[in-house]
Amino acid sequence: MTITQSRIPTSSISLHFIVVGAGLGGVTASIALTLAGHKVTVLEAAPILGEVGAGIQIPPPSVKILQAIGALDEVLSNATFPREFQIHSWKEGKIISKQNLIPYTMEKYNSHYLHIHRADYHRALVNRAIEVGVEIVLDARVNHIDFEKATVATARGEVYSGDVVVGFDGIKSRLRSFILGYEDLPYDTGDLAYRAIIKVSEMKKDPELVPFIEEPNIHFWWGPRCHVVLYLLQGGESCNVVILTPDTLPKDEAVQPAKVEELLELFKDWDPRLNSIFKNIHSTSKWRLQNSRELSTWTHEEGNVIILGDASHATLPYLASGASQALEDAAVLAGLFGRIEHRGQIHDLLNLTESLRKWRSTQVVQGSTQCRNIYHLPDGKEQQLRDMKLQISPPKIGCPNRWRDPVFQEFLWGYEAFDEAERGWAEYKKGKIAKYTFDSLYDEVKL
């Protein structure tokens, strides 16, 4: 990959940031803010660091952020490089749409598209955070905040004070309720996700599964009320499977261990190769999927406190872009605070971060929800129209394969977070806080 120059400016004043949450977003923010010249303390509720045992997709804008914060080499050494998206029909399994990734994303976006195990991704970020001097405090669940003093208290009674508090505390964010002054919880979408990792050595025993393991691609099956995503991880030694189905979890449980038999029953009429794949699953769990509504604000009215990542824009994972939005939030925040000139600008820059990031993450949340309707169509007229549109070549605006829609793809993959911060800062210095919308930026392409 062509090495790009790090584009994190270094501030002439040093602030102390308290980042709440050491997920992918919080750790990325902690590295970027440290490189921007600030001191960062991360408070994490869990007693040990880690991530769910599953894969994750990393699109070009995040790859560029990883490059800029110095975490890309370790990520690349653990990543798989998929060659293309392949969408299969649910029953026969025939390919109904493709999108090239190699060499396409490098030629068009100067970046790879990657797959990685979440644990490897998180470890690479934590290693880099420690290397640059971030302080990470475990078993530190924040349960109180004093907005005036930018002070938080943990469940163990420890108190941390800083200049800015950044809540990357995920979908069940406490900081969100503190900022809003009421609980605005993400809502249940009616879908859940089974996640599992399969040993490729076991899949190899079945010749009909060879197409899924001989080269790294991303396979989707779209069908009535469900879809399946499959891709290789860990040098092609394991295969990540995500299965999206209607939510059958009990109301008060968000995660539960699940039985393979449930999957075999749910998918008995689908491409028979799916059941052959599922038979290799030894353990799986199912997670309820939730979505957020656009919040009235991410920033406290007076205090120097903001929420970012899933805390402010949890999304269905149907565009595989939730974590990438969290990384972009982190990069824009650091890009702005790398330029700060005096403390009087702190609150403006938090508002500016929100303004620069909200329109885009809202578009991703809404786009992911729209994907649900596209992927899960029952057989019939609408599905036939969808499949007909998939065949149009070259793809047009509105292509149901959103990664192939020329405008939406450019929106999703062409974003440069550090450039966005630079642009936002320039406008701020001219005396305005920019307000962007998808339409204002993409009007001319739509014509």
Site for ligand FAD, rule CB under 6 A: 20-26, 43-46, 56-57, 141-142, 168-171, 174, 193, 195, 242, 287, 309-310, 317, 320-324, 326
Sign of CA pseudo-dihedral 392, 81, 55, 271 = positive
From the list 324, 316, 302, the residue with the least C-alpha distance to 113 is 324
Closest CB 289 distance from ligand FAD, rounded Å: 6
Closest CB 44 distance from ligand FAD, rounded Å: 5
Rounded Cα gap, residues 168 and 38, in angstroms: 17
Tokens describing residue 431: 């005396």
As to burial, measured by CB atoms within 10 angstroms (0-12 exposed, 13-18 middle, 19+ buried), residue 253 is exposed
Contacts of 136 (CB under 8 A, 6+ apart): 22, 27, 30, 42, 44, 49, 126, 129, 130
Nearer of residues 21 and 223 to ligand FAD, judged by Cβ = 21
Tokens describing residue 244: 């999206």
Q: Are strands 164-167 and 305-307 parallel, antiparallel or unpaired?
A: parallel
Tokens describing residue 17: 């940031």
Closest CB 40 distance from ligand FAD, rounded Å: 14
Measure Cα distances from 82 to 115, 162, 258 in Å.
7, 42, 28
Closest CB 62 distance from ligand FAD, rounded Å: 7
Closest CB 92 distance from ligand FAD, rounded Å: 26
Closest CB 346 distance from ligand FAD, rounded Å: 22
> Please, what is the end-to-end C-alpha distance for the chain in angstroms?
33
Nearer of residues 25 and 335 to ligand FAD, judged by Cβ = 25
Q: Are strands 84-89 and 218-223 parallel, antiparallel or unpaired?
A: parallel
Nearer of residues 17 and 287 to ligand FAD, judged by Cβ = 287
Nearer of residues 58 and 349 to ligand FAD, judged by Cβ = 58
Nearer of residues 200 and 326 to ligand FAD, judged by Cβ = 326
Closest CB 428 distance from ligand FAD, rounded Å: 25
Nearer of residues 53 and 272 to ligand FAD, judged by Cβ = 53
Nearer of residues 11 and 80 to ligand FAD, judged by Cβ = 80
